């Protein structure tokens, strides 16, 4: 049964100014749920108000730096003061800054750990404390197939998503006895501004190796129609690419065989994607 068919719930979603976060916020609002939509880019977030149904008692919007523990607690406090509970946290906010590790700055490398890993961990902790008090709740953390199989060219992004996945799977077992579920969602490359950002970086060619890119609608369907109703521990999108990632993670030496062909295919699709975007712009 779809979550949309259940009684309204209270959502807190990060990264709502664009991409996956914006689409999930649109779906939550359209389904009649109460929603606190957040993003660090507050000006861009406020422009999305119409997509989320406009100003109403069901919608709040706020700036959130996911790296700030104090700001996270303020978001939880705002949700509690407004609606009296928090049912679902969707940790979506993230960054990818492509480049080989020997060619990028330390700041560029560590930004992934700050936003992707630290931000997810702080959000999970803040929401979990309230959900444990309630005796119920669901936390959904967006990792990546790059959190299962290492991806050269975005090594620090890979490290951050490995951290998100490991943290999510471990904390799920901590919180289950308290009635709180944690799900880790690992999508392949999704056509969002984060993918577009990588199109000009040769180092990121492997990101483009999938036969097709996922859409935000693909991810939204999985989360709303499968993850939220069923509360699985982990979901791979798509499954066949997910199991390939698990195989290379189990036998890391196989990547040496697979990578050359995947990189060649990725470079071709990266060039096609770049050309397509050039025609659109």
> Catalytic site residues?
157
User: For 47-82, b where at least 16 C-beta lie within 10 A, e where not — what string?
Assistant: ebeeebbeeeebbbbbebbbbeeebbeebbebbeee
88, β-bridge pairs: 11, 138
Helix (H, G, I), strand (E, B) or coil at 162: helix
Q: What's the distance, CA 253 to chain centroid?
A: 28
- Under a CB-based contact definition with an 8 Å cutoff, are residues 197 and 25 in contact? no
Look-up: residue for tokens 């779906």? 27
> In sequence order, what are the residues at sequence separation of 6 or more whose Cβ sits closer than 8 angstroms to the Cβ of residue 90?
11, 12, 13, 14, 21, 24, 140, 142, 223
DSSP 8-state secondary structure symbol assigned to residue 234: E
Rounded Cα gap, residues 52 and 37, in angstroms = 9
58, two tokens: 């069901």
* The two three-digit tokens of residue 274, written as one number: 């770049």
DSSP state of 257: H
Q: Based on the number of CB atoms within 10 Å of its own CB, is 88 exposed (0-12), middle (13-18) or buried (19 or more)? A: buried
Q: Residue 281: which of 212, 213, 203, 199 has the closest Cα? A: 199
């Amino acid at each position: 049964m779809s979550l949309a068919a259940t009684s309204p719930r209270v959502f807190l979603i990060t990264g709502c100014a664009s991409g996956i976060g914006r689409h999930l916020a649109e779906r939550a609002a359209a389904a009649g749920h109460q929603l606190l939509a957040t993003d660090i880019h507050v000006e861009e977030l406020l422009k999305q108000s119409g997509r989320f149904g406009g100003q109403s008692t069901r919608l709040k919007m706020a700036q959130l730096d996911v790296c700030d523990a104090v700001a996270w607690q303020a978001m939880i406090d705002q949700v509690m003061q407004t609606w009296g509970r928090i049912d679902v946290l969707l940790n979506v906010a993230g960054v990818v800054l492509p480049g080989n590790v020997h060619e990028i700055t330390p700041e560029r490398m560590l930004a992934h750990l700050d936003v992707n890993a630290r931000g997810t961990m702080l959000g999970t902790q803040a929401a979990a404390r309230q959900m444990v008090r309630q005796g119920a709740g669901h936390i959904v953390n967006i990792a990546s197939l790059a959190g299962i199989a290492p991806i050269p060219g975005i090594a620090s992004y890979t490290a951050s998503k490995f951290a998100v996945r490991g943290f999510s799977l471990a904390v799920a077992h901590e919180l289950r006895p308290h009635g709180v579920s944690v799900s880790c969602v690992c999508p392949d490359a999704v056509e969002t501004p984060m993918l577009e950002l990588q199109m000009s970086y040769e180092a990121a060619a492997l990101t483009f190796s999938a036969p097709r890119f996922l859409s935000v609608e693909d991810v939204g369907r999985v989360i709303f129609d499968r993850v939220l109703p069923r509360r699985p521990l982990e979901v791979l999108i798509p499954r066949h690419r997910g199991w390939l990632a698990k195989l290379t993670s189990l036998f890391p030496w196989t990547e040496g065989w697979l990578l050359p062909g995947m990189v060649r295919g990725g470079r071709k699709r990266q060039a096609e994607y770049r050309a397509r975007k050039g025609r659109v712009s």
